[in-house]
Every structure is written in C-alpha cells, then in structure tokens.
Chains A and B, each alone.
Chain A
Amino acid sequence: MCAAHDRLTEMKLKTFAGGIHPPDNKQWSAHKAIEDCPLPAELIVPLAQHIGAPAVPCVAVGQQVFKGQEIGSAKGFVSVPVHAPTSGEVVAVENRPHPWGTSLPAIVIRADGEDCWSPELEPADPGELSPEEIVEKVRQAGVVGMGGAAFPAHVKMSPPPEKQIHTLIFNGVECEPYLTADHRMMLEEPERILQGVALLQFVLGVERVVIGIEANKPDAIALLTEMCAGTPVEVIPLEVKYPQGAEKQLIAAVAGREVPSGGLPMDIGVAVHNVSTAAAISDAILDGRPLIERICTVTGPAIREPKNLRIRIGTLLSHLVDACGGLAEEPGKIVLGGPMMGFTQLGFDVPATRGTSGLLLLRHEDVPLHPEGPCIRCARCVQACPMNLLPTTIGAYARRDLISEAAEYRALDCIECGSCGYVCPAAIPLVQAIRYGKAAILAKKRKA
C-alpha cells in the first residue's frame, strides 16, 4: 500500500480547474470496517427521498408488510417506489419530521423482529434480461443516486436514443470531508460494485468504463485496479480536491470534456454513477432486492465512536447516535451528509433516507458563527469556483433581485458546492444568495 501511495504522489493526477482543499478529516472513520446497525423498533420511511415526484402510499395502517415489500408507488417517470426496510406492521401513514426541515408524508413501520424478506422478490439471471428489463427492475427496486442527490438511477440509465453514451464513469471520489462510506464499500464489497458496473455497461452499451477515485484512498485504488485487470474497466486516481466528486468536475478530470452550460452529461455522451449506486443496482438485479439499506458514516468530534454503519432507510438519527456509543458532548451542529453540501438538522428525530451518506456531529467550537462583512473584492471565490462563475457578482445581483442579470452570469450553472462560501474571508452567504437567485430565475421561467 505504501508503494502504491508513493506512486500516487509522484504521478501528475487528473483534476479540474478551481476547487478548494478543506481538511479531509477522514481519519475518524476511514479505518473502521462496515458494521451492521442494530435494527430499530420503529422505522419512519419518508415518501419523498429522491429528486422528482414523491411516492404515493400503497399500504394501509395496520397492514403487515414484508421486508422489501413496496409500500409507496412511484408517481411519474422521474420518481421511484419506496419499500419496507424490515418486516412488521404499518402503524401510521402521516406527516413526520423530514431531513428537509419540514414535516412530510412518511410511512411508519413497527418492526416485528423477524426481518423476513418478501417472498415475491426473486433473483434474476442478468444474462436472460434485456437492457430495458434491467432498467425496469432498477426502477422497481427504487434505486437512486447514492452520492447524496438521490436522483432516480433508471432515468440516467435510459437516455433518449439520439444520445449515445460512450463513456461510463463511476464515482468513487467521495470528496466531501469526513465521509468514508464509499471508501469502505470499495474496500469491503468491491464485487457488488463491479457487478453493478458490468450491468450498467451492458445496459448502456458502453465501451469505455472508468472508476474515478481520489488519491487519498490508495488502498481502494490498488484493490480495484487489481480486480479490474484484464477487464475494460480502468481505475483512475484523481487529485485530492473538493469538489472532485461533483458530476461535471469528475467528467472534466476523467474525460477532459466540459458539460455544456444548461446541459446534461448525456449531451456529451457521458453517464456518471456513484459506486454505491452500482452496488445497489447489482443487488436489485442479481438478488432482486430493493434499496432498503445503505452505508452511512457516523462521524465528527461530537460522537463517541465514529463508525461506518450499514443502516436501514428510515432509521432515526438518534438510533444511529446510540449505535455509535452516544454523544461525546452536546453537538453544535448536526449535519446529514458531508460538511460542504450536507443538510443541517434541527434535531435527531428525523430518519435517514436513501441519500444519507453520513451523519456528521460537530462541536460548538467547530462551527463558530461569523457575522457577514463587506465584500473586499479579493476574488477568492472566483478562483475557487469549479464552474468558472463569478460567485460574488451573481450573489450581489441575486440579493438586489436583479434576476435577469444573475441569469446572464450563468447563475443556473452553479452546482452549490459551497467552495465560494468556504473561502470567503467576509463570510458572505454566497451559496444562499445564489440559490435564492436560482430559485427566482426558475420561478420567472415557469411564469413566462
């Protein structure tokens, strides 16, 4: 491993322009093997866990459900069903606190402890399935992008016929500080990932397949390189830089191409999936199992024992904290996901969803609040922006409700990675301002 690491530091690693170097803080949990989180007594499964239309409940209160049984059906194409994470009784279908900050419809299941799989779920032989059948099974299994955005995977697997995909990129970058879920998955369950890679390669009919991994995971790079030897899959180590794992930045680093403004990766013949998504796709096809669990890194200085946990969707955050030995001290900030793009939570009474890649607990001293100061025109945000935007200009326009000007400066291209806000010495809430502008631009477009 040491030799591999030396090789990585000597090589000129691929990357994108811009970006920042926050301390990665992965040492808390990078060496911890994945543990199964104990099954909680009650699971709260939100119906809105993905980008797109929320699922519609298809079970009634009092009904017995099996593990993996569909409890909410998809509504529309950009939507996926949700499934029971364990067997038990549906005790409520009502609004419950959601990681998005408000109360949203959820299905509450009281576990019966049997954890009994639905008899209807059957493994399939991928050799006998057509690409369309595979996509349909992935949709039925509720697979979404596991990197955090939770975009339904089947949508990315069915590009329109005029957009031929020639490069398939798997995202093992995990550039968010603190998070190690994908890292552990690549180390401990590479077979699942590679099965998913093969399935996606078959569905999209792609020649070139790449797995991009940040160079701070030399063990994962070495392992996957070894396992992929003799296959068309290439493992590319990437420079350690945030946001290397953002879709467009990963494409820029790996394929050397830029996704056109307002376009999608499929416009330049590229598809990007997270390595964990590949594993979920493999489960959905080879085992017939829907997406009901994921790896989640519980970490940060305010937790007693940081861990990488295999959690059921719908597990309350308080249960995750208990599974990690409880709190070391009162947290100053609770973040779902990573510190850069994660969602700050108001408490531990919300459930983990399919997009919950981590639970980060910071102390009060880790999150000092700086009042906003005046912009000193230092342009650090401009240098940091991985999308080559002018965050300070867009932010200033957005704050003055100069919406068309903000749009002219390509506010909609902002990926909200937070690099600008991270480097701003005046602590200007740039991302919030740009988000505000983006929402106003989209509202204006809808009206027109």
Chain B
Amino acid sequence: MLAAILSLGFIGMIAAFALGLAAKKFAVEVDPRELAALESLPGVNCGACGFPGCAGYAKALVSGTVDLNLCPPGGADVVVKLARILGVEASAAAREIAVVVCQGDNRRAQVRYHYLGLEDCTAAQRIAGGPKTCPGGCLGLGSCQRSCPFDAIEMTADGLAVISREKCTGCRKCVAVCPRNVIRMTPYDATVHVLCNSHDKGAVVRKYCQVGCIGCHICQKTVPGAYKVDNFLATVVYEHSADADEAIAKCPTKCIRDFTTGYPDGSSLTPAVPEKPHAA
C-alpha cells in the first residue's frame, strides 16, 4: 500500500516536472492582441470576412494587412473595439443587408412541374432549370434559410424566402448559396426595393407571375433618378432613393415594396416600429 503510494507519487512528480519543462520550452508565443481581437469578434465563424473563421480573421488583423471593417455581423461596435486593440484609426463600412428580390411564391408565380426531390434549391435548379417558370424567381426550398447562421431568413408557407431586416448581419452566406442569384446586398438605410429578378419581357412575365416587374418604366417616370430599367427589369438606384417610395402606388404589378411598411405577403415578419437607428 505504502509502496504503491510512494512509487505512483514519485512517477507523478517526475511527469509533472517534465510537463512543466516542456510547457516552458515549447511555449507558443501568441500575440495578446490576437487573443483580444478574437475575443471581440462575434465568434459565429460565418466566413463573411473571407478568412477561415473568426480566429483566422483575428490572426490576419494582427498582421496588419487587412481592413478592420470586414466583419459584417460585428458591425460598428466591433470595428471600434478592434481599432482600440490594434491602436489604429478605422471607420465601419456602411451596413448592408440581404434582400430576396422576389415576391413570386408558389401562389403568385407559376410552377411548371411537380418537384419531388431533394429539399435543396441547387439540386432543384439542376432539373430542367428549376420548377418555377420564372428563370430568376425564388425556388422556395430554403437553401438560404439553412445556410443562415443568424436565423434571419423565414420561408413562407407558399415557398418564398423573406429576410428579416433586424436579424440580417450582411454575412452574404445566403447570397453565395442561392442558385438563382435572387438575393441582393443592399444598403440597410434603403428600405424600398423592386422585388423582381426576371429579365424577361413584360408580356412573358405577366404569363407566369402576378407580381413580376414588366419593365413599364412607370417608376422611373414617377421618381426620376431613383429607378433605372435595364433589360426589362427595374431596380432602385440606392444612391438617389430618398423619394423612391412615391412610385410604390403607381407600380401596376405591385412589385415595389417599402420594408418599413411591411414585409412581402405571407411573411410573419413585421417591421420593427420604430426603426432602430443603427450606429454607423
């Protein structure tokens, strides 16, 4: 009994000594700024900055070769913190959020075949170009929803992705995963968007969607400068979109929407009232 305690205790002491020595000898110098930077990053590892996770970005930050404002989920607060840690001047990038530019759910837009396969938009898109007749419309199988690290995307009952303005951090994961490029990055302050992604001619769009842009130019004529029509599709010119909401009532297919007054029909999301001012 005693012999066992002694011998094990002796072995333990030697091992502890060896470990202590090894820890000193092979210690890895970590820049304390890197640890601090990692601490201040959100830690969701979304990859929006282009580095392998938050740790990768923290490491790159310390090397001093990258901008401080590459973390959209962190927003302005993180930029301020990072600037303090690294001792440099920096300003936050303007906040951008993702918007699904489509309102054609399975009720409003024509579905051309019955799809019974993988619940994945990319997989569906590979079958004859997707089950929606519209070549640009939201397929509604929720690939973006599953990719969102912030739970910011809602799929409506009729198969349309809607992104919450409050929860979206602008990490662009959904933009990368959408096979139809129907998700756009837009300035957070712009609340009026043309919700259509079809470049087909008006007569063609009318055949397959009740709420598609027909390229009639009325919005452009109503608020000159705030809209441009390119290849039968109107888009908001976000730099000059202060009065863009004046065209909403004039749009014959109701494809322009102001997100401060309401999200697309079928969505349970409601605009935050009053709009939270965002520290930019």
Chain A positions within 8 Å of B, measured between CB atoms, are 100-102, 343-344, 346, 369, 371-372, 399, 429, 432-433, 435-436, 439
Given A344-B128, A369-B116, output 9 extra A-B contacts at Cβ < 8 Å. A343-B128, A346-B112, A399-B118, A429-B118, A432-B117, A432-B118, A433-B118, A435-B123, A436-B120
What is the minimal beta-carbon distance from A227 to any residue of chain B, in angstroms? 42
Q: Is the CB of B126 within 8 A of A435?
A: yes
**For residue B146, which residue of chain A has the nearest CB?**
A401
10 closest Cβ contacts across the A-B interface? A101-B128, A102-B129, A436-B123, A429-B117, A101-B129, A432-B117, A369-B116, A432-B118, A346-B112, A433-B118
Interface string of B80-123 (1 = CB under 8 A from A): 00000000000000000000000000000000111011101011
**For residue A395, which residue of chain B has the nearest CB?**
B118
* B128: A residues at CB distance < 8 A: 100-102, 343-344, 346
Of A371, A432, A433, A439, which is in contact with the most chain B CB atoms at under 10 Å from its CB?
Answer: A432
* B113: A residues at CB distance < 8 A: 344, 346
Chain B positions within 8 Å of A, measured between CB atoms, are 112-114, 116-118, 120, 122-123, 126-129, 135
* A343: B residues at CB distance < 8 A: 128
**For residue B130, which residue of chain A has the nearest CB?**
A101
* B122: A residues at CB distance < 8 A: 436, 439
Across the interface, B127 reaches (CB within 8 A) one of A101, A371, A372, namely: A101
* A429: B residues at CB distance < 8 A: 116-118
In the complex the two chains form, what is the Cα distance from A369 to B115 in whole Å? 10
In the complex the two chains form, what is the Cα distance from A435 to B129 in whole Å? 15
* B120: A residues at CB distance < 8 A: 399, 436
In the complex the two chains form, what is the Cα distance from A165 to B4 in whole Å? 75
In the complex the two chains form, what is the Cα distance from A435 to B122 in whole Å? 11
**For residue B147, which residue of chain A has the nearest CB?**
A401
With A101-B128, A101-B129, A102-B129 as given contacts, are A433 and B116 in contact (CB-CB < 8 Å)?
A: no
In the complex the two chains form, what is the Cα distance from A101 to B114 in whole Å? 14
**For residue B143, which residue of chain A has the nearest CB?**
A401
Interchain Cβ contacts under 8 Å between A and B, 26 examples: A100-B128, A100-B129, A101-B127, A101-B129, A102-B128, A102-B129, A102-B135, A343-B128, A344-B113, A346-B112, A346-B113, A369-B114, A369-B116, A399-B118, A429-B116, A429-B118, A432-B118, A432-B126, A432-B127, A433-B118, A433-B123, A435-B126, A436-B120, A436-B122, A436-B123, A439-B122
Across the interface, A436 reaches (CB within 8 A) one of B116, B118, B135, namely: B118
In the complex the two chains form, what is the Cα distance from A102 to B112 in whole Å? 12
Q: Is the CB of A371 within 8 A of B112?
A: no
Q: Is the CB of B126 within 8 A of A436?
A: yes
What is the minimal beta-carbon distance from B177 to any residue of chain A, in angstroms? 10
In the complex the two chains form, what is the Cα distance from A436 to B120 in whole Å? 9
What is the minimal beta-carbon distance from A369 to any residue of chain B, in angstroms? 5
In the complex the two chains form, what is the Cα distance from A343 to B113 in whole Å? 13
In the complex the two chains form, what is the Cα distance from A429 to B120 in whole Å? 12
* A100: B residues at CB distance < 8 A: 128-129
Q: Is the CB of B123 within 8 A of A432?
A: yes
In the complex the two chains form, what is the Cα distance from A369 to B116 in whole Å? 8
